[in-house]
Amino acid sequence: MYTDAMKAGIVGASGYTGVELLRLLAGHPDIDIAVATAHSHAGLMVGEHTPSLAAAYPGLAYEAADPELLDGLDLVFCALPHGESQKFVPELMGRVGLIVDLAADFRLRDPSLYATWYGEAHVAPEVLGQAVFGLPELFRDQLSGATLIASAGCYPTAAGLALAPLVRAGLVESSGIIVDAASGVSGAGRAPKEALHFGTVDEDFVAYGLLNHRHTPEMEQILGAQVLFTPHLAPMVRGILATCYVRPMAGAGTLSTADVMGALHQAYDAEPFVVVTDAPPSTKATAGSNTAHVTARVDERTGWVLALCALDNLVKGASGQAIQCANAALGLPETTGLPLGGMYP
């Protein structure tokens, strides 16, 4: 465990996840930001680009990304677009103590899946085996002492937290799982896109990525199960609500709501960042926090099991989870510097 504040860098600090890392780490007692890179904004003060951070970082300016600039840091968060981390991280390895990557570049164990789901071969497949998967509630035993962490994606985190206890307990089938999830527009990043204009998104609700969304193999890897995933874009800034449908395990007897809720309570009652709730989870209840809310039901009429999870896609679904993973890897309490409570109203 570190006794002095660690020096950290953020690569890609001007995007939504990078800005959220800066916001959260401003209150972390054991981590100080030494370097924030943003290639297209190099030389610009962080507070000029994102005024909400002006008081927290009055003297910090964005710099161009350069592995030598990060040399010797205790910790580096990579908040780059998909495809960029796999080019940058190999140059960074050995220069810093711990790398936490928020992109999908090192999440999948099978390198062939990148060509199938991301449309291009992985450029550093030899590094995949050195990365550990970052979803502490489900894979905590892999994090201690890690030097490269691939923090889980937002949709897979929501689906994994809702379903993994049920799959692992043998209560439900591991095939034919349906994940129907909606996300706020911040999940698509900060870069301007016509599909994300206010006039396009407001008063609209649309499905996308039908049958081929790239988070599908990550969900299947987390669960060890077959998943049909349909994402939706909701007219809100933050939040994910995942509604998941799965069949009870054949031949296991009658399954009840008490059984599935019991599995969730057993998995999460000792977890600070997961609330098992009898009420339907709400994205508003999780906004700004690193906390996920989950629940489950068994519908005796149709025979389906229903599992739901709500979380903030930028916190528990991205930057907060990355910090939680870093805390675990570095021997700090996982809650250090992270908000348990959400913003309301």
Instruction: Give the model confidence (pLDDT) of 29-52 as tens digits.
Output: 999 999 999 988 999 999 999 999
Evaluate whether residue 343 is within a structural domain.
Answer: no
- 200 with 300, same domain: the answer is yes
Same domain flag for 160 and 295: yes
pLDDT at 1 over 90: no
Please indicate, yes or no, if residue 336 is contained in any of the structural domains: no
Residue 240, domain extent: 155-312
Same domain, 293 and 264: yes
Listed in sequence order, the residues at least 6 apart from 269 whose beta carbon sits closer than 8 Å to its beta carbon are 276
Decide if 65 is inside a domain: yes
**What distance in Å separates the CA atoms of residue 36 and residue 12, rounded to the nearest whole number?**
7
CA 41 – CA 39 distance, rounded (Å)? 5
Q: For residue 334, is it within any domain? A: no
Positions annotated as catalytic residues are: 154
CATH number at residue 34: 3.40.50.720
Q: Are strands 292-298 and 305-311 parallel, antiparallel or unpaired?
A: antiparallel
Smallest CA-to-CA distance from 332 within 92, 30, 80, 87 is with: 30
Answer yes or no: is pLDDT of 251 > 70. yes
In a domain, 56, yes or no: yes
pLDDT at 2 over 80: no
pTM for the structure as a whole? 0.96
Residue 44 belongs to what H/E stretch? none
Are 209 and 298 within one domain?
Answer: yes
Task: Let me know whether 122 and 20 are in one domain.
Answer: yes
Query: 114 with 159, same domain?
Result: no
For the beta carbon of residue 243, count every other beta carbon within 10 angstroms. 19
Q: What does the pLDDT average to over 134-156?
A: 97
Same domain for 128 and 204, yes or no, is no
pLDDT of residue 3: 55
**Residue 95 CB neighbours (<10 A):** 15
Same domain for 213 and 325? Answer: no
Are 104 and 52 part of one and the same domain? yes
Residue 269 phi/psi, 5-degree rounding, is -60, -25
Residue 1 within any structural domain of the chain? no
**Residue 168, domain CATH:** 3.30.360.10
User: Could you tell me which residue, 188 or 248, shows the higher pLDDT?
Assistant: 248
DSSP at 2: -
Has residue 191 been placed in a domain? yes
Rounded mean pLDDT, 220-235 = 97
Decide if 149 contacts 132 (C-beta within 8 A).
yes
Same domain, 130 and 182: no
Q: How many domains, in total, are found in the chain?
A: 2
Evaluate whether residue 339 is within a structural domain: no
Mean pLDDT over residues 250-270, rounded?
Answer: 94
Based on the fold, state whether residues 121 and 222 are members of the same structural domain: no
For residue 279, the model assigns a pLDDT of 97
Residue 198's pLDDT band (cuts 50, 70, 90) = confident
pLDDT given at position 4: 80
Tell me, yes or no, whether 77 and 162 share the same domain.
no
Q: What token pair was written down for 105?
A: 């570049």
